[in-house]
A and B are shown apart, each in its own frame.
Chain A
Amino acid sequence: MTEKHIDELSGVETTGHEWDGIRELNNPMPRWWLWSFYATIVFALGYTIAFPAWPLVNSATQGVLGWSSRGQLTQTMNEVAEAQADLRAALAEKSLPEIIADDKLYRFARSGGEAAFKVNCVQCHGSGAQGSAGYPNLNDDDWLWGSDIESIHHTIAHGVRYAGDEETHVSEMPAFADMLQGPEVRQIAAYVASLTRDPSDPALADAGKQLFADNCAACHGESGTGDQSMGAPNLADAIWLYGSSEAEIAAQIRKPKHGVMPAWQARLGDVTVKQLAVYVYSLGGAKQ
């Protein structure tokens, strides 16, 4: 189309296209809009050169600025680590009682410990550290391997019955299924139950008293209060790891279950294990 056609009504030039007598007005984009649009194209080109963008066969262009999302994460993590360097150094250096006494360090250790707990510990101990059958509740004041913060720290660091650590807690209760005969297991179970409540059959419990002294008191103590140095649970309290009924107690005598916990020192490092110890301490059950 060579001839200019001006629309009569609006006075605007048409594009020359015509459909069934309808012509299209040629209203150009506003200049500022057009230039902004061109500017975005130029910017986009520059952007794809500066940053990773164009897909190749096995990878993509890396961009001249060398930016990467992993690099950015690393940088952020390094910044955080740098900001926390002083506090972490103090945690590494100081003893656990010193950390607890220092309000700022205590709070830092507790927060870090809580985060580490949520990642590494909740699978067994639960998100509120409340435990479940076979997995100890860390909120209460009943401890198998020691209730002060140093003992808690040792247990976290070296684990329980964990083959890969030399300092781990090792002792195990033997299975009495073969060593005791007839009603003896039920008698001992009834006696253990009688330590904290009325047993189902007092005669059975009386019969179990001597059997307990002969077979169990060596580890669990004359009065059944246990021994934390060898992980023997207190049988005279309200907390039962594997259930409190006489049947459950009898099952545990015949063929005891033993919990296993990994050693965390090698995996998480000294500072994080200390933080975990402070967090568990802060749950309120540990001894001062």
Chain B
Amino acid sequence: MANISDIPHLDVEPVNAKRNRPPLYAARKKIFPKRVTGQFRRFKWLVMLITLGIYYLTPWIRWDRGPYAPDQAVLIDLANRRFYFFFIEIWPQEFIYIAGLLVMAGIGLFLITATIGRAWCGYTCPQTVWVDLFLAVERLIEGDRNARIKLNQGPWTAEKILKRVTVHSSWLIIGLLTGGAWIFYFADAPSLLRDFVTGQAPVVAYTTVAILTATTYIFGGLMREQVCTYMCPWPRIQGAMLDENSLTVTYNDWRGEPRSLHAKKAAAAGQVVGDCVDCNACVAVCPMGIDIRDGQQLECITCALCIDACDNVMDKLGKPRGLISYATLGDYNANMALATAGGASAIDPRRVKNADGTLSEKVARFRWGNIFRLRTLIYSSIMLVISAGMLFALLTRDRLELNVLHDRNPQFVVLSDGSIRNGYTVKLLNMIPQPRDVVLSIEGLQNAIMMSPEMDHSEGDKLQVRVEPDRLRELHIFVRQDADAAADDDQTFYFVIEDADGGERAEYRAKFLRP
């Protein structure tokens, strides 16, 4: 038996030792993003203008569809179960087109992420756009970063109260306009606006506006980056979408490190200095409040404002732009290898620079091949195939349809002369906004004629039926077959409808039952 003192004490630290375990909850640190100018900021303003413009203005575009359909270009008519999009009208059973659109949107997100990373997050996501707008308002009233920090820390003076009330009420007004614009997609916009302000609109309209006002205000004004970091699944998914050829916002530490606040002094002392002067401009402008120099992280929405901020500093210092830039992991690794001599030493920016301070020709830069590669071409061709298929289906789809349901009880009736009668519920769908006269007939059933109580009981092998514009008409049709008709075992036949003018035709297979 061994002595206790013979058991060696191992020096090991568990990765999640209980005494070191941090709480799962972390209080939010308020972020005060600084104003920045530059090409990406300009681009973001442009995108905001376009996306908000589309959102607010679309319901007001008119589109003439004749007297029998609404003249709103984009309208989701829930009451009548119709969706209008310019020249396209979709019935509920055609929802597959919406599904196709969603599939395309999904693959589009793959494509964009594989090429330029989380561009959706950084530029066009509604959360980003509205937060940007809210920040602009906040900045306009409270001033830039330092002024806002000061105001936030300061006591509740009359000025602070006034500014805060102005900011929050502006946010609420934006929220109200946001929620307000939403409901116009679901009803005729001008008349709904009139009803809305006069208190005549349906309760659901007011409820929707109230909810969307609240969510816009809370998400855009109060929660902001927390929505992206904690609520949105996309930051978690993106890791699987990116590869070494995807462009992401990257801090190029192969030329930035070792960073130094006193670069000149350090250089004079003969130390190795990188381009980063540790000014923290990139951190100050970040709406997510992170430091891009810590590398890719799930909080980063790749809005590229840090690129603008850093480029401005580089310009002032007379150094080449792009210390923070859109770069691929492949290029980054190549440049890193260059700067560290293949990992043999610490980063030495001199290895990637020429004597005059410009970047060496050996540095890997953006190439179009990063965008047009197999993966993105596959995504693009999938999208192309789906869109071509949808376009084809859309252009050749039926606008006249027919559904037939055989009566279940009784399945057949013997009439006094011995002939057999079957009953069918026939639904005629006129899917264009014009009234249509269609001819209903039966084909392929021996010695048979039709009759409908809704059509004056007159018997015949054809019925002329009027169908209202954009409506379904239901008829009960009785088909009678003579007693002595040679009854095959399989009495399959067709109901056929034909547009009297347009020549459009639809048929439905039905069965005739006998005793």
- Chain A residues in the interface with B (C-beta under 8 A): 103, 106, 126-130, 137, 139-142, 234, 237-239, 281-282, 284-285, 288
Q: Does B287 contact A (CB under 8 A)?
A: no
Offer 25 A-B interface pairs, CB within 8 angstroms, sorted by A. Answer: A106-B454, A126-B409, A128-B410, A129-B410, A130-B409, A139-B413, A139-B423, A140-B413, A140-B416, A141-B416, A142-B415, A142-B416, A237-B416, A237-B417, A238-B418, A238-B483, A239-B414, A239-B416, A281-B453, A282-B453, A284-B413, A284-B423, A284-B451, A285-B415, A288-B456
Q: Which of chain A's residues have a CB closer than 8 A to the CB of B453?
A: 281-282, 284
Q: With A238-B418, A284-B421 in contact, do A130 and B456 touch (Cβ < 8 Å)?
A: no
Which chain B residues border A281 with CB–CB below 8 Å? 453
A112 shortest CB reach to chain B, Å: 16
Bound-state Cα–Cα, A141 to B368, Å: 80
B415 touches A238 (CB 8 A): yes
| Contacting pair B413 A282 (CB below 8 A) | no
Query: Which residues from chain B contact A126 at a C-beta distance below 8 Å?
Result: 409
Chain A residues contacting B458 (CB-CB under 8 Å) are 288
B476 located at the interface, meaning its Cβ lies under 8 Å from any Cβ of chain A in the complex: yes
The residue in chain A whose Cβ has the minimal distance to the Cβ of B451 is A284
Q: How far is the CA of A234 from the CA of B418 in the complex (A)?
A: 13
- Whose C-beta in chain B lies nearest to the C-beta of A128? B409
Quick one: which of B454-478 are within 8 Å of A by CB? 454, 456-458, 476, 478
What is the distance, in angstroms, from A138's C-beta to the closest C-beta of chain B? 10
Closest to B456 in A: A288
Distance from A242 Cβ to chain B, minimum over Cβ atoms (Å): 16
Bound CA span A106–B455, Å: 12
Given the known inter-chain contacts A106-B454, A238-B483, please indicate yes or no for A285 contacting B417, CB distance below 8 A: no
Query: How many angstroms between the C-alpha atoms of A137 and B414 in the bound complex?
Result: 10
Q: How far is the CA of A129 from the CA of B423 in the complex (A)?
A: 13
How far apart are A118's CB and chain B's nearest CB, in angstroms? Answer: 11
In the bound complex, CA of A135 to CA of B302 (Å) = 80
Interface set, chain B 439-454, CB cutoff 8 A to A: 451, 453-454
Cβ-closest 8 pairs across A and B: A128-B409, A237-B416, A130-B410, A238-B418, A288-B457, A139-B413, A142-B416, A128-B410
Known pairs A284-B423, A284-B453; A127 contacts B409 (CB<8 A): yes
Judge whether B416 and A238 touch: CB under 8 Å.
yes
Q: How far apart are the CA atoms of A142 and B414 in the complex, in Å? A: 10
Looking across the interface, which residue of chain B has its beta carbon closest to that of A282? B453
Main secondary structure of the interface of B (DSSP, over half): loop
**A282/B409 in contact, CB under 8 A:** no
Report whether A140 and B456 are in contact in the complex, using a CB–CB cutoff of 8 Å: no
Q: How far is the CB of B110 from chain A (nearest CB, A)?
A: 42
Chain B residues within 8 Å of chain A by Cβ, number: 21
Which residues of A sit under 8 angstroms from B478, Cβ to Cβ?
Answer: 284
List 14 other contacts, CB 8 Å, given A140-B415, A234-B416, A288-B458: A127-B409, A129-B410, A139-B410, A139-B413, A140-B414, A237-B418, A238-B417, A239-B414, A239-B415, A281-B453, A284-B413, A284-B423, A284-B476, A285-B415
Task: Compute how far the CA of A277 lies from the CA of B152 in the bound complex, rounded to whole angstroms.
Answer: 80
Q: Which residues of B contact A142 (CB under 8 A)?
A: 415-416
Give the CA-CA distance A139 to B409 in the complex, in Å.
10
Residue among B413, B454, B483 with most chain A CB within 10 A: B413
User: A106: which B residues are within 8 A, CB to CB?
Assistant: 454
Cα distance, A137 to B409, chains bound together (Å)? 12
Across the interface, name the chain A residue whose C-beta is closest to B478.
A284
Closest chain B residue to A238 by CB distance? B418
CB atoms of A137 and B483 under 8 A apart = no
CB distance from A224 to the nearest CB of B (A): 13
Q: Within 8 Å CB of A130, what residues of B?
A: 409-410, 413
Measured CB to CB, the nearest residue on chain B to A143 is B416
Q: Which residues on B sit within 8 Å (CB–CB) of A139?
A: 410, 413, 421, 423
Closest B residue to A281 by beta carbon equals B453
Give Cα A281–Cα B409 distance, bound, in whole angstroms.
Answer: 16
Q: Mark B400-420, 1 if CB is under 8 A from A, else 0.
A: 000000011110011111100
Using Cβ atoms and an 8 Å threshold, which residues of chain A touch B476? Answer: 282, 284
Q: Whole-angstrom distance between the alpha carbons of A237 and B421 in the complex?
A: 15
Residues of B within 8 A of A129 (CB): 410
Separation in Å of the A109 CB from the closest CB of chain B? 12
* Closest-CB distance, A238 to chain B (whole angstroms): 4
Q: How far is the CA of A106 from the CA of B454 in the complex (A)?
A: 9
CB-defined contacts of B418 to chain A, threshold 8 Å? 237-238
Bound complex: CA A139 to CA B407 (Å): 12
B410 CB contacts on chain A under 8 angstroms? 128-130, 137, 139
Query: Once the chains are docked, how many angstroms separate the CA of A11 from the CA of B458?
Result: 91
Chain B: which residue is nearest A142 at the CB level?
A: B416
By the criterion CB–CB under 8 Å, are A137 and B416 in contact?
no
Interface string of B59-93 (1 = CB under 8 A from A): 00000000000000000000000000000000000
B107 → chain A closest CB, angstroms: 43
Which B residues lie within 8 Å of A141 (CB)? 415-416
Q: CA A237 – CA B414 in complex, angstroms?
A: 11
A148 to B417, CA, bound (A): 18
Assembled-state Cα–Cα distance A284/B454 (Å): 10
Decide: B409 and A285 in contact? CB cutoff 8 A: no
User: Which A residues touch B409, using CB under 8 A?
Assistant: 126-128, 130
Q: A137 touches which one: B407, B413, B423, B456 (CB < 8 A)?
A: B413
**How many whole Å from B405's CB to the nearest CB in chain A?**
14
Residues of chain B within 8 A of A288, CB atoms compared: 456-458
- Bound state CA distance, A139 and B453, in angstroms? 12
CA gap between A130 and B413 in the complex, in Å: 8
> Which one of A127, A234, A237, A285 contacts B413 once the chains associate, using CB atoms below 8 Å?
A285
B425 to chain A minimum Cβ distance, whole angstroms, is: 12
